[in-house]
Amino acid sequence: MSVKSPPAALTEESSAPIQKIDPAEKWRRLLMWPSVVPLLLWMIVPLAFTIYFSFIRYNLLNPAVSGFAWFQNYQFLVGDASFWPAILNTLLFIGAVLIITVVVGVLLAVLYDQDFFGKNVAMLLVIAPFFVMPTVSALIWKNMIMHPVYGSIALFLQNLGIAPVDWFADFPLVSVIIIVSWEWIPFSFLILVTALKSLDQEQKEAAAIDGAGPFTQFRYIVLPHLEKAIGVVVMIEMIFLLSIFAEIYTTTGGGPGNATTTLAYLVYALGLQQFDAGIASAGGILAIVLANIVSIFLVRMLAKNLSQAK
């Protein structure tokens, strides 16, 4: 509710006939430069180089490797034994984290939308994981929570008489999914609980008077209201999750085998471990294409938002 969107004057100037250009306007144009120029460079230069590198033979250690490679890098990338597993892992990973964070996020948002004792403090506890740096989350979970002998989960299962699980050996991808979900549930929760605040309470009360139970209310009032916010969560998370790296780097290093190698990790391994900048750039291009498909939708939605708010 508090976000005041663009001022009403946003397009007024365009409709008014231009009579004379204010001399100060020339100077005001310069004010855009400090942010536009760096961002323009940031957008164009690395992208141009990624595209260029993806079409040449380029090894960081061996300058003798050179020349135009046409689509060979892409062929090598697709032919790499870890490529298809990495694509599959990326899809599984992003899909699972999205489902978990959105479902849990919605449930938590509904719960914390109710009034109870100490609600605001309890909410702080739920959002806390989002502020923990990724390397800390990964190592605390790997060593102290999921350790097969001393970890909290193992001790808990032992008390119940269930055999403990060696998480990172037997379920490596699941383990990474659990850690990343723990980090990102607070994000979806925070956004959804904020969105829920703008729900018209009278609508719910009216529905309750008409005899709608909590589930009917949830299905026909709460969920439709959250639709847009869920869309935002999904799109923003997808872009971030595509580059998830630290959690994998510090826990599994992409292994065992290539069980936790995602596209992001594969690009890192090809480029900065095997020093093949050409093939790694081809992988980078693939990631950019994937992210762009998502961001087209996101930008369209933001554009609608900006113009609606007029």
Residue 81: φ, ψ to 5°? -60, -25
Tokens of residue 299, six digits: 């930008």
Q: Could you tell me how many residues make up the chain?
A: 310
Return the residue matching tokens 């609980």: 193
Q: Does residue 68 sit in helix, strand or coil?
A: strand
Span near another protein by CB under 8 A; candidates 74-82, 93-101, 167-175, 249-257: 249-257
Does the protein bind another protein through residue 135 (CB under 8 A)? Answer: yes
Task: Using CB under 8 A, pick the residue from 96, 123, 157, 165 that binds another protein.
Answer: 123
Q: For another protein, give the closer residue by CB, 229 or 259.
A: 229
Residue 191 in contact with another protein, rule: CB under 8 A? yes
Q: Per CB under 8 A, does 9 bind another protein?
A: yes
User: Which listed residue (69, 77, 86, 190) binds another protein by CB under 8 A?
Assistant: 190
Options 101, 251, 260, 261; binder of another protein; rule CB under 8 A: 251
301 binds another protein (CB under 8 A): yes
Residues of this chain, 79-98, that bind another protein according to CB under 8 A: none
Query: Of 63-71, 160-168, 190-198, 205-213, which segment contacts another protein by CB under 8 A?
Result: 190-198
In degrees, to the nearest 5, what angle opens at C-alpha 196 toward C-alphas 190 and 202? 160
Is the preceding omega at residue 256 within 30 degrees of 0, hence cis? yes
Contacts of 265 (CB under 8 A, 6+ apart): 86, 245, 248, 249, 254
User: Quick one: DSSP state of residue 163?
Assistant: P
CB of 70 to another protein, least distance (A): 18
Of 60-79, binders to another protein (CB under 8 A) are 60
What character string, x for contact with another protein (CB under 8 A) and - otherwise, covers 217-246? -----------xx--x---x--x--xx-xx
CA terminus-to-terminus distance, the chain = 15
How many residues bind another protein, per CB under 8 A?
Answer: 115
- Cβ atoms within 10 Å of 279's Cβ, excluding its own: 28
